[in-house]
A and B are shown apart, each in its own frame.
Chain A
Amino acid sequence: MVDDLEETVTETDESGEDEPETDGGVRAYTVRLELVDEPGELLRALEPIANNGGNLLSIHHERGNMTPRGHIPVEVDLESPPDRFDDIVGALRDAGVNVIQAGAEHYGEEISVVLVGQLVESDLSDTLSRIETEIDAVVLDLSLSAPEGTKAVSSARVRLAIDSGRSDEALAAIRAIGSEKELTVVEPLLGGDVP
């Protein structure tokens, strides 16, 4: 074990020398971990982050919220130079920490969709709260247009904050909710040069 550790340290030093210096640019990242409910676990999980150049921004430690396997979900927001982030995740995994998700910035992306149909009859507030819970999104704003009254077909534009890199997943979930409630979902076109 001791030998292993020394080797790891040496390797890190060497690669550190070879790496070009960053220009100080940092990005925000969110890492989701699952910790065993034992004293000292949280500190053990945070050390590899600090040791690899990460700057802790916030820690969500949901002690009351156990996973089915009896672990405690922890969400860590941190900043690091983009080229060091993989090292941080690697170091966490080397330290035996269970990394559930890494890289996606929490609520780092915005998407807008337009919903069309019997919005009021199909319970708009239920639609929105299902979108929020099922895709872990936050509704940033909502514009409703019902020129023929709330009993007729109306439209709503919903702006959502979602985790970066998860827009395809989020749109698929909104599509499913829409088809269940017989709503037309007008999705943004993603991909290519389209902003």
Chain B
Amino acid sequence: MKLAVLGAGDVGRSVTDLAGEYGHDVVALADSSSAVIDPAGIDVERALERKVGGDPVGTADPESVFDADYDVLVEATPTTLDDAEPGFSHVRRALEADRHAVLANKGPVAERYDELRTLAADSRGSIRFEATVGGAIPILSTIEDETPQAVTAVRGVLNGTANFILTRMAAEGLDYEHVLAEAQDLGVAEADPTFDVDGTDAALKFVILANVLADGGFSLSDATVEGIQNIPGSALDLAAEDGRTIRLIGEASREGVRVGPRLVPENGALAVTGTRNIVQIETKHAGSLHNSGRGAGGPETATAVLSDVGRLAEL
């Protein structure tokens, strides 16, 4: 497949870097200010060097990517809320041109799922978005294999930063502010960790899951979301006395989406430690399945994008 990659952050760069290993060619790579386009496949190494060195990825206008001869548009620009632009328009343009779109950007799938489905239905292309939920962990493809109708709910931990903070607080008896500063030093938390600790990031993923289970109808505003900022070390101590711990847990079902700090058994499956993610997929006929692994990171998320590309039909 010929890939056009929009977004040259960790995920976009990793997709570009790994595409060859998966048997695909990158014919275009763009960030918000410039693009490199080559119908025979771009010089990946040089483009990535330029980007990492702080230079423009190429000399072309990002707009010209849409005129390139590509099969799959990879949408890896930063997640935006509400109208989910410019990501949504990027996907719309690909579908209207009868190309496939694979998203790593959560915004369009969480905020405008029904519109995306309508666009995909009218296109010869299709959309896939495994990378938007749980990085490297195959969650949406597991649900697809089980069939969404046979899945009653999905619960679990889908934000590594919040999970890291709660794990460290419980293990070291430290308070929230202290552990957050440590996480920022380690690069686990961003300089502005708001969306991770207030539950928004996890909520977007569970909204996407609810959309898959219910075939649409949900956006972030439908989710009940609570963060971990108000959890003191003393709450984790009390939980531990009772053989439990506190994790930022999300729940998605056809009835709705909820994210908040919850008590879970300390040695239970959902109490993963550090930045690890896990989901429990509750099925009608086969009990619960647990998928766990790395929920973020460039190469990890890129593997989910490239698995999606591998599942697409030839146009």
Q: Which residue of A lies closest to B235 (CB)?
A: A155
Within 8 Å CB of B233, what residues of A? Answer: 147
CB < 8 Å neighbour of A157 from B153, B242, B251 = B242
CB < 8 Å neighbour of B268 from A112, A184, A194 = A194
A139 to chain B, nearest CB (A): 15
CA distance A191 to B234 in the complex (A): 26
Total count of chain B residues near the partner, CB < 8 A: 31
Contact B270 A194 (CB under 8 A): yes
Q: A114-B246, A154-B234, A193-B288 are in contact. Are A187 and B155 (CB under 8 A)?
A: no
CA distance A184 to B198 in the complex (A): 13
A168 to chain B, nearest CB (A): 11
A165 on interface, CB distance cutoff 8 Å: no
Within 8 Å CB of B280, what residues of A? Answer: 192-194
Total count of chain A residues near the partner, CB < 8 A: 25
B282 on interface, CB distance cutoff 8 Å: yes
Contact A116 B230 (CB under 8 A): yes
Contact B268 A192 (CB under 8 A): no
Contact A186 B261 (CB under 8 A): yes
B251-287 CB contacts (< 8 Å) to partner A: 251, 260-265, 268-270, 280, 282, 287
A195 on interface, CB distance cutoff 8 Å: yes
Within 8 Å CB of B268, what residues of A? Answer: 194-195
CB < 8 Å neighbour of B238 from A145, A153, A189, A191 = A145
Contact A188 B262 (CB under 8 A): yes
A113 on interface, CB distance cutoff 8 Å: yes
Contact A116 B244 (CB under 8 A): no
1/0 contact trace for B223-249 toward A, CB 8 Å?
000100011111101110110101001
A173-195 CB contacts (< 8 Å) to partner B: 184, 186-189, 191-195
Within 8 Å CB of A51, what residues of B? Answer: none
Q: A114-B238, A116-B232 are in contact. Are A191 and B244 (CB under 8 A)?
A: no
B193-249 CB contacts (< 8 Å) to partner A: 226, 230-235, 237-239, 241-242, 244, 246, 249
Contact B235 A192 (CB under 8 A): no
CB < 8 Å neighbour of B287 from A153, A157, A193, A195 = A193
Q: Which residue of A lies closest to B262 (CB)?
A: A189
Q: A114-B239, A191-B155, A191-B282 are in contact. Are A153 and B262 (CB under 8 A)?
A: no
A106-148 CB contacts (< 8 Å) to partner B: 112-114, 116-117, 143, 145-147
A42 on interface, CB distance cutoff 8 Å: no
A156 on interface, CB distance cutoff 8 Å: yes
B190 to chain A, nearest CB (A): 24
Contact B235 A114 (CB under 8 A): yes
CB < 8 Å neighbour of A186 from B235, B237, B251 = B235
Q: Which residue of A lies closest to B264 (CB)?
A: A189
Within 8 Å CB of B237, what residues of A? Answer: 145, 155
Within 8 Å CB of A143, what residues of B? Answer: 238, 241
Contact A146 B234 (CB under 8 A): yes
Contact B246 A157 (CB under 8 A): no
A191 to chain B, nearest CB (A): 7
Contact B288 A113 (CB under 8 A): no
Within 8 Å CB of A112, what residues of B? Answer: 242, 244, 263
Q: Which residue of A lies closest to B246 (CB)?
A: A186
CA distance A192 to B269 in the complex (A): 11
Within 8 Å CB of B231, what residues of A? Answer: 116, 184, 186
CA distance A173 to B254 in the complex (A): 23
1/0 contact trace for A25-41 toward B, CB 8 Å?
00000000000000000
Contact B262 A147 (CB under 8 A): no
User: Chain A residues in contact with chain B, CB under 8 A?
Assistant: 112-114, 116-117, 143, 145-147, 153-157, 159, 184, 186-189, 191-195
Please name the 9 residue pairs, one residue from A and one from B, whose CB atoms are nearest each other, closest first. Answer: A145-B234, A157-B238, A155-B235, A155-B234, A189-B262, A188-B263, A184-B230, A193-B288, A192-B282
- List, sorted by A's number, 29 A–B pairs whose CB atoms are closer than 8 Å: A112-B242, A113-B263, A114-B235, A114-B239, A114-B246, A114-B263, A116-B235, A117-B230, A145-B234, A145-B237, A147-B233, A153-B232, A154-B232, A155-B232, A155-B234, A155-B235, A157-B238, A157-B239, A157-B241, A157-B242, A184-B230, A184-B231, A186-B231, A187-B262, A187-B263, A188-B263, A189-B263, A193-B269, A193-B288
Instruction: Kindly list 20 other residue pairs between chains A and B, CB separation below 8 angstroms, not including A143-B241, A192-B288.
Output: A112-B244, A114-B239, A116-B234, A145-B235, A153-B230, A154-B234, A155-B234, A157-B242, A186-B260, A187-B262, A187-B263, A188-B244, A189-B263, A189-B264, A191-B155, A192-B153, A192-B282, A194-B268, A194-B270, A195-B268
